[in-house]
Structure 1
């Protein structure tokens, strides 16, 4: 019975050490992942993960008004960028539909541009099956 008691203690110590070691490894892995997420992208990385739309002209919801826009879309990874490059017609259609839903007065000023960027990002999130849209920037903007 003495040997069995020692064996149980050794097994318990090994199990506890494994749990503690696994927990420590998980914690360190999470910290590394958080550090990667918080790290801002370099200009080269932004360029590699971005796509630009053509200049798009579309009617607005306000009668007699139209908008001329162009966007730069920052995507989460290279696979999503490739998907965006293959779905240019869907991206263009989503942008046109989103811009056309706004009244001219809603697009005026900094708040209007931010609202437009947010709306386009949300609409594009529905288009892509892989990855995410990290940011949408208006790079050309005119309303009349």
Structure 2
């Protein structure tokens, strides 16, 4: 009986130590997880955004209607590496913008909804050609239809 009490006491002590270790590990992981989440949610600085912001030169092309459009875009890459890829792929990006506009009419580009749809299309097509990262946002910085 005495031997059983010792075994039981040792077993309870071992379980207590393992339990305390598990609690400490959970607390430690929770603190580290909160730090990681806080770092990911931190808004980028203006300098960081500028380093990832790729401005295209103005492009002019015909629309399906009897008009033509002049557009200038700014593409925000998700990293400096993808920014550099945008620079290298400038001819492909120009082709995407021109072919997209060539398939649209003046009415397709009317209002904020039309421009938003155009920007989303450019973003999706640009992301198809990128291997290192993605375009997070497309800004239309100049737009004219004549």
Q: Structure 1 runs of 4+ off > 4 angstroms?
A: 1-11
Report matched runs for 1:38-49 at 5 Å. 38-49=41-52
**Alignment partner of 1:139: what SS?**
strand
Cα distance between partner residues in 1 of 2:95 and 2:17: 60
Q: 1:111 to 1:19 in 2, by over 3 A?
A: same
Distance 2:17 2:88 in 1: 53
* Residue 135 to residue 17, structure 1, CA distance change in 2 (3 Å): farther
Cα distance change of structure 1 residues 37 and 99 upon mapping to structure 2, 3 Å threshold: farther
**Residue aligning to 1:125:** 127
The whole-number CA distance in structure 2 between the counterparts of 1:109 and 1:94 is: 21
Aligned pairs, number: 143
* 2-structure distance, mates of 1:6, 1:101: 80
Q: Secondary structure in 2 aligned to 1:129?
A: coil
Higher CA-based Rg:
2
Shift in alpha-carbon separation, 1:102–1:18, aligned structure 2, 3 A: farther
Counterpart residue number, 2:26: 23
Q: CA deviation at 1:43?
A: 1.6
Answering whether residue 64 of structure 2 is matched by residue 52 of structure 1, we say no
Please tell me whether residue 87 in structure 1 is matched to residue 89 in structure 2. yes
CA distance in 2, matches of 1:14, 1:100: 71
Residues 109 and 85 of structure 1, relative CA distance in 2, 3 Å threshold: same
1:18-39, Cα deviation, whole Å (9 max, x unpaired) = 4434433333333233323333
Which consecutive unaligned segments of at least 5 residues does structure 1 have? none
Tell me which of 115, 120, 141 is aligned to 1:139: 141
Equivalent residue, structure 2, for 1:75:
77
Once the two structures are TM-superposed, the CA of residue 117 in structure 1 deviates from its matched residue by 1.6
